[in-house]
Amino acid sequence: MSKRPPFDVIGKYRVEAMIGQGAMGVVYKGFDPDIERPVAIKMLHSHLVSSGDESSLLARFRQEAQAAARCLHTNIVTVFDYGVIDHSPYMVMEFVDGIDLRSFLRESVTLTFKQMMDLVIQVLEALDYAHRQGVVHRDIKPANILLLDSGQVKVTDFGVAKLDTSELTHVGDVIGTPSYMSPEALRGDIVDGRSDLYSAGIVLLELLSGDRPQKKGVNWDDADIAKAVQRSHRLPPSLDAEFTRLISRALSGDPSQRFATGQDFAVELKALTSPNQVYVPELNDLAATVLQSKQTSALRRPADGGVPTSGTSPSQVSLSPEISQILSQNLARFLGPMASHMIRATASQSVSLQDMIERLSKRIPSEDERREFLNSLNKTGVHAMHSDSLASGSGGSGAAGASVPRQPSLELSQESIQKLTQLLAYHVGPLASRIVRKSLQGARNLDELHQALAENIPGMPERSEFLSKVRSR
């Protein structure tokens, strides 16, 4: 739940809400006025900065910014800026509208075997890139893995990351989350990228078994791993032995016996996931499951922070089948089969049809494709059906189901109605027949009918073209 921040700006960035906090710092949602984009701003807690260990904390926070800034990768949260205000350092990052894997696992939504593999492989590709930049994350765990509505995964929080040139971390420093830490990290030894791969192996084992690992500080043996693997209801039984072998290697107590790189780990996962064929990620399927989880989470945690009332739904927009079909057909051109899932999830978060369309457009990553999507919707006339797309809650017609006398329908032959529909369909698409039927109810003559129909056409030139054609007939 977001909270109101104690100030309005940090540097040049407008502060909009508090979106999270931990032992070391707080994260705000902000806005960059220069390039007009949302950002996340992470700032150290003021009481820590004012403590006696100020120089060490400032150095570590700056190191985090440097570590993350090195990592320009699609599966790593990007750092844009760094600064200090009144001795309090802040870091400006990409704003990611996602759900962390820890929260995801707490919901009732489950991942298929392929979805789990697509998720973990993205984490491994992020780690492989970071390690090649000389950065060890040192705290890989579900809470630091973000799942986006697109099915993309992003690794975040390099707060304990170690640069290979840094002197801030010494032998004896134990940094990380014990359940996911490698044996050498728990001992306080100097660690390298293989420690991160150990943690990724724990995350994979947790996904497969459905249980959070409990053997922190103790080496996993093959029997323990086999039992955990066999508890999986989504792993094909034929792969039990192969995955036991793979995870045993990832969780070896001796770093030299583990995978040397994230790429090596990912290649073997791909081979087991797609035997005898090229591995192809199916991110649309993962995206649909993420959206379902976020919708479940919204039902449990209302925006006002209160306890959900039995029978209460956050859904604000109820779409008719016709409107849903129009939206799905247009969105599927850009987002594929996940479009229908995204439409249902977005409807639960929207307060109006226009708000919903704007939210859907933001799911399309390309600006040109986003514009094309909005233009294609304008041509369908979907905006004109706004009042019909909202649920009345009573099954009646009118703004609130009120009984309002209707004007007698204008009498036209079926041939005339069909011709009008064809002319209008050229401008607004498949909604034309519905618009014609609705407009007939209130029109007293042909001129009123033509004007009413023309109002559903976006753009004055197209309206004039339509009126010219219908009046010439």
What's the distance, CA 180 to chain centroid?
24
Which of 1, 6, 45 lies closest to 23, judged by CA? Answer: 45
Q: Are strands 37-44 and 25-32 parallel, antiparallel or unpaired?
A: antiparallel
Query: What is the DSSP track for 367-388?
Result: HHHHHHHHHHHHHHTGGGGHHH
Q: Which of 139, 157, 196, 285 is catalytic?
A: 139
Q: Which residues contact 167 (CB under 8 A, 6 or more apart)?
A: none
Distance from the Cα of residue 113 to its chain's centroid: 20
Residues 364 and 335: their CA atoms lie apart, in Å, by 7
Cα–Cα distance measured from residue 137 to residue 256, given in angstroms and rounded to the nearest whole number: 19
Question: Is residue 211 among the annotated active site residues?
Answer: no
- CA-CA distance, 391 to 323, in Å (whole number)? 12
31 forms beta bridges with: 14, 38
Give the Cβ contact number of residue 318 at 10 Å.
14
Q: How many CA atoms lie within 13 A of 276 on its CB side?
A: 0
**Is the Cα torsion angle 118, 119, 124, 126 positive or negative in sign?**
positive
User: What 8-state DSSP symbol labels residue 41?
Assistant: E
Question: What are the tokens at 451?
Answer: 């004007």
Neighbouring C-alpha atoms within 13 Å toward the C-beta of 14: 9
Q: Give the three-class secondary structure for 80.
A: strand
Residue at token pair 């004055």: 460
> Residue 142's closest CA among 99, 113, 82, 90?
99
Q: DSSP E strands: which ranges in 156-214?
A: 162-163
Sequence-ordered alpha helix ranges (H) in 190-315? 193-209, 222-230, 240-250, 262-273, 283-300
Q: Which residues are catalytic?
A: 139
